[in-house]
Structure 1
C-alpha cells in the first residue's frame, strides 16, 4: 500500500443507466484513515428507499467499458470527493445471499491514508459522507460489516509485517508518534520500552539530530524512515515485524 504510485484521475460524470453496468458485479472501497491517533473508515449514507439512513462502503456497479481499478477510483470520487490516492485490491466477496433478490459478487479495494489530507463531498447518490471510527461502526447494509472486519484483520497483519504505517507520519517524527500510530491501527497498548527496542534494532530509522520544537513537554528526538535501508535489508532476507 504505497503512496508513491500515481493513480489515474477519474472524471466525475452522471451515473449511468442500469443498461450500462454489470449488474452482477460491484466494487466496494475500504478507505482507512488515521485521524488524531484514531483509526477510522470512510462511509457514505444511503439515499435509496430500501436502505435510507443506513451507512455503506463507497461503491457501486462497474461499467462495461471500464477496468476494475478505474471503476473503484470513479465510484470513490463520485460518492465522496476523494481522489488521487492509491488503491489495492483486497478480496472478492461472493457469498450467495450477500445481496437481496439477486446474485452479486463484489470486489473490494482498500487504502490507508491520513484522514486530514482529504476533503469530503457527498455525491449525488449519497446523503452524507464521513469518517467513522472502526471501533463504533453504525448500522451497515448488506455484508459490509463482514467486509470491514476482514479488511481490519488484513490491515493489522500488513502493518505488523510491512512498514506501511510510516507513510502516515510526517517526514520527521518521534518514537512516541510512531508508537501512537501503531496503537491506533492495532487497537492495543504497546509496551513502550519493548516497542522502542524492537524498532531501533531494525536499523530503519535515521536520527535527524534535531528535537521537537514548541512542545509543552520535554522535546523528543526526531527520526526519519530510511526507505533505502529497508530495500537493502529486504533483499538480504530481512523480515519486518512489530
Structure 2
C-alpha cells in the first residue's frame, strides 16, 4: 500500500475540493408536454414550461398559431396537429373552449389512453352551450373524464386568470397556489411537477369530483392565495 506524504495528502485534498466546487449540471426534465390550444392559456403556460427546460408541442385546428407560438419560444417548442401533440406528450394539457371537449374526446382518446391529461378548460353556459350545463351539474372534471375514459384527467390551472399566471410565476417568498384534483396518484404527481416548474405551489384538493370547488361559480374560482391560504379557504388538509 502506497503511503501518502504530507505533500501528497495536501494535493489529494486540493483535488477533492476542486471536484467538489465544480457545479453539477441539472438533468433536463424528462416529461414532454403536448398542449391542445395555442391561445392565451396554452401559450402562457407553455412559455413557462419551455423556460423551465421542458419540450413542448403546441397544437390547434390550424397550424398557423401553434407555429407562431413555437417559433417565438425557441428550440424546445414545436408545433403539430392535436393528434401529434397528444402522441408527443407524456402529459397533455387541454387549453381549449369547453365546447371542444365532446369533439376532441373521440378523436384523441385512443392516443391518450394511460396518459395524464391536465385539464384547464372552463365551462361557460353563454359560450359553450349544453356541455357547459352538464359540467355545471356533474362537475367539469367528471365530465371531461367521460370524454377521455382511458386517460387520467387532472383538473388544474383553470381557476387563476392567465394575467396572474404570467405576473405571479416564481414569486417569493409565498408562491401563488394552484389547486389540482384527480383520481390517479401518478397523474397528480406529474401535474404537481408541472405546477412547481411553472413557478407555483400545487395544492391537491382531493379526487376529481373535488375539482368542482374551483370551477366557475364556486368558492375556489379566481381565488388567489398562497398554499396555506388556499387550503384554509377550501377547507383542504395539508
TM-score class, shorter: under 0.3
* Structure of greater Rg: 2
TM-score of the pair, normalised by structure 2: 0.24
> More helix per residue: 1 or 2?
2
Bigger relative CO (Cα 8 Å, ≥ 6 apart): 1
TM-score of the pair, normalised by structure 1: 0.24
